[in-house]
A and B are shown apart, each in its own frame.
Chain A
Amino acid sequence: AQSVTQPDIHITVSEGASLELRCNYSYGATPYLFWYVQSPGQGLQLLLKYFSGDTLVQGIKGFEAEFKRSQSSFNLRKPSVHWSDAAEYFCALNTGTASKLTFGTGTRLQVTL
C-alpha cells in the first residue's frame, strides 16, 4: 500500500524568507505526485504535479518541487514567501489513471510579518 509522510505539522516563516515543505512517499514504483494548498474552510487548489521527466517542476504562485527518487521525496519550495501563502499544504500521490489520491497529513504554514 502507498503512503505519504509530511514530517512537519506546523511551520512558521517570516515574510520574504525562503520555504521548504517536506514530503516523503512510500510506493513500489514511481507514483504520480502532487502538492495541493487549502485555505481555511476552502477547497484544495493544485499547486503542481510530477508524472515523469524533469525532476524539478514549476507550479503556480512561484512554487516549485523537486522529485528525488533516491530519497523518495517530493519537497515543495518557494524562494520568497508572501503573507498570502499562509495555508495548509498537502502532498499527495496516486498510482495511475483514475486512481484515488493518498494524502499526507498536511503542513500548516504560518507567515509572520
Chain B
Amino acid sequence: AAGVIQSPRHLIKEKRETATLKCYPIPRHDTVYWYQQGPGQDPQFLISFYEKMQSDKGSIPDRFSAQQFSDYHSELNMSSLELGDSALYFCASSLAGGPSTDTQYFGPGTRLTVL
C-alpha cells in the first residue's frame, strides 16, 4: 500500500538559511499534519491542514510557514534557520470523516541538520 512520502530525507543547512520540506500524503487522504521531533524527545505538533485550509496550529515558530496544495501535498517552509531547528520533521496524513478512518499515518521523516 502507498505510504506517506517525504522529501528530502536528509537536509543540511547553515544558520540563517531557508529550507523547504515536502510531504505527499497517502492517496485520498485529505488531512496533513506536521510534527517536529528533537533528539530523544516525543513528536511535537506544528500545524495541520484539512482540505487545503489550516485546521490547527501548535508550537510552530513564526519563522515557519506551511501550506497544502490542490493535489493535497504540503510544504513546510522554514526561514532564518537556527541551530535549535535541527530535528526530525514528520508529516502524517489521514482521511477525515470519522473514527474508523481518521488515523494518522506517518512518513519516514526529514532529518534537518543546521550547522
Contact = CB atoms under 8 A, between A and B. Distances in A.
Contacts of B99: 32, 51-52, 97
Interface residues of A, number: 25
A34 interface: yes
Contact of A49 (B35, B97, B103): B103
A43 B110 CA distance: 9
Contact of A101 (B43, B88, B109): B43
Nearest to B46: A100
Contacts of B43: 44, 90, 101, 103
Interface string B51-67: 00001101000000000
A11 interface: no
Chain B, interface size category, equals 20 to 34
Given A44-B90, A51-B100, A97-B102, A102 B107 contact: no
A43 B107 CA distance: 6
B111 interface: yes
A42 interface: yes
Contacts of A104: 42
Interface of B: 31, 33, 35, 41-45, 48, 50, 55-56, 58, 88, 90, 92, 94, 96-100, 102-109, 111
